[in-house]
Amino acid sequence: MPTRSDEATAIRAAEGDAVKSEYVRRIFSEIAPSYDLLNHLLSLNIDRRWRRKAIAALHIERRPAGRYLDLCAGTLDVSTELAAAKGFRGTVFGVDFAEPMLRAGRAKIGMHPGIVPIAADALQLPLPSGSIDGAIVAFGIRNVAGLDESLREVRRVLAPDARFVILEFSTPRSSALNAVWQVYFQRVMPAIAGSISGHPSAYRYLPRSVANFPVEEELALRLEGAGFGDVTWQSLTLGVAAIHVGVAR
């Protein structure tokens, strides 16, 4: 059973308090064994389609033998799908600071020797400046303790004209749809996920973190402020998620 202290910490972390980094690392390490199951179950497998659209936005056909960054890589879903893309001959660095998540995804690497898991913080990437041909982050950027700092760090490692793709949850603009979504997101989902994962507070953190994350227009401005140009975004599935794309300048 979650304690009042757990709930209070989840709220503070979602609001960007100083506890966020350690809290996020801890909860994702603890839910790693059930993470993939819950992702697909709770999204009715729509998350797979979202990830495919995000990967397509990278335009890897421009540099099929390049070096790519999968930031906040978790259990390496994006890394493995990118490495399996038709014509891909490059390397994918799957970076996450919760090492148990990377370990949980190692079995997916299989026949993709080009995937390199790295346990590291998104604010201090162990990659040379200008060395990466494209970067993607799926459902992880809102968990970073320092959004602007992480955007600038991604920009640092990207080569000129490289694309950065962000796939993240958002809040539906329709008040009627949002009311239904919030019931599911804040009540139904945490109850199901908490019973399966044994970690209810982790899935109460999720909707709070989305509520505190910048709306699409603001995130686009933050990308521009970090040195990205040609920033665009599109809503997915009636506005419950969005894809942003920026080009390193």
Strands (E), 139-193: 158-169
Residue 33 and residue 198 in contact, taking contact as beta carbons nearer than 8 Å:
no
Q: For the chain, list the strands marked E by DSSP.
A: 67-71, 91-96, 115-119, 132-138, 158-169, 228-236, 241-248
Q: What is the pLDDT of residue 186?
A: 87
pTM as predicted: 0.93
Q: What is the pLDDT of residues 183-207, one digit of tens each?
A: 998 889 888 888 888 887 788 888 8
Arithmetic mean of pLDDT, 18-24: 91
Q: What is the pLDDT of residue 100?
A: 97
Which helix (H) or strand (E) segment holds residue 248: the answer is strand 241-248
Please answer whether residues 166 and 135 qualify as being in contact, where contact means their C-beta atoms are separated by less than 8 angstroms. Answer: no
Res. 76: pLDDT tops 50:
yes
Q: For residue 127, give the DSSP letter.
A: S
pLDDT digits 0-9 by tens, 143-199? 999 999 999 999 999 999 999 999 999 999 999 999 999 999 888 988 888 888 888
> Bridge-partner residues for 233, per DSSP?
244
- For the CA atoms of the chain, what is the radius of gyration? 17
Q: Which residues contact 131 (CB under 8 A, 6 or more apart)?
A: 67, 157, 159
Domains of the chain and CATH, by start: 4-71+86-92+127-248 (3.40.50.150)
| Phi-psi region at 203: left, alpha or beta (left = phi > 0; alpha = psi -120 to 50) | alpha
Query: From CA 45, how far away is CA 37, in angstroms rounded?
Result: 10
CA–CA distance, 141 with 151 (Å, rounded to integer): 9
